[in-house]
Amino acid sequence: MSVLPKAGRETVIKQLLLAYPDAGCALHFHSVFQLLVSVVLSAQTTDKSVNEVTPALFERAPDAHAMAELPEEEIRERIRRIGMYRTKAANLSRLSRLLVEKYDGNVPGEYDRLIELPGVGRKTANVVLSVAFGRQRIAVDTHVFRLANRIGLANETDVLKTELALMEAIPEERWTAMHHALIYHGRQVCSARKPRCEECCIRETCLRNGV
């Protein structure tokens, strides 16, 4: 499948932004550190599941200094209901200690420094830069990857190429808003197995209507 022509891309962007004007980060947090932890925990896990385990975790360890003091076994127990909890607990422990050692417990606002942290990849760094620091970013998660390539904003087989394609297709000042709009649309309408095309605001434009 090819990508939508320019006019089609502009229509899709306009319609999705109109449909989800209040779309934003669904994770619950009260600081940049808590956002970072939540995004690390959200890998291959729903935001809902993350939001269920983080209140107790953040009550015990609200910042990097407190998290760095927790035994890894305790972190593991507090997040054991989510996927890959052992690996994530190890990453949170190491990540927190590194933040304390290098940044006095603060989360850096630079992409290159973020991706040096354990458990932080391109998607996590982009979410943190976007939500916490107000940078325009497109973080390609499962929903964004699937939708972008399904509806015709991209035609790529991997995450990085999809991100680059979206950066070309979408005006920079709308990167963050479209990231959230695509996620909401993927959750509410364009699901992986049974997209509800009859309810879709972009059904007349989407390249793969009904596929």
d(CA 197, CA 207): 12
**Active-site annotation holds for 141:** yes
d(CA 151, CA 145): 10
Task: Give residue 17's Cα distance to chain centre.
Answer: 17
Catalytic residue among 6, 47, 102, 123: 123
d(CA 69, CA 80): 19
d(CA 211, CA 194): 9
Q: Give one DSSP letter per residue of 126-154, joined into a string.
A: HHHHHHHH--------HHHHHHHHHHTS-
d(CA 65, CA 44): 26
Catalytic residue among 6, 22, 141, 161: 141
**Active-site annotation holds for 123:** yes
DSSP strands (E only) in 38-146: none
Phi and psi at residue 168, to the nearest 5°: -80, -40
d(CA 129, CA 131): 6
- Given the structure tokens 């989407």, which residue do they identify? 206
| Catalytic positions | 123, 141
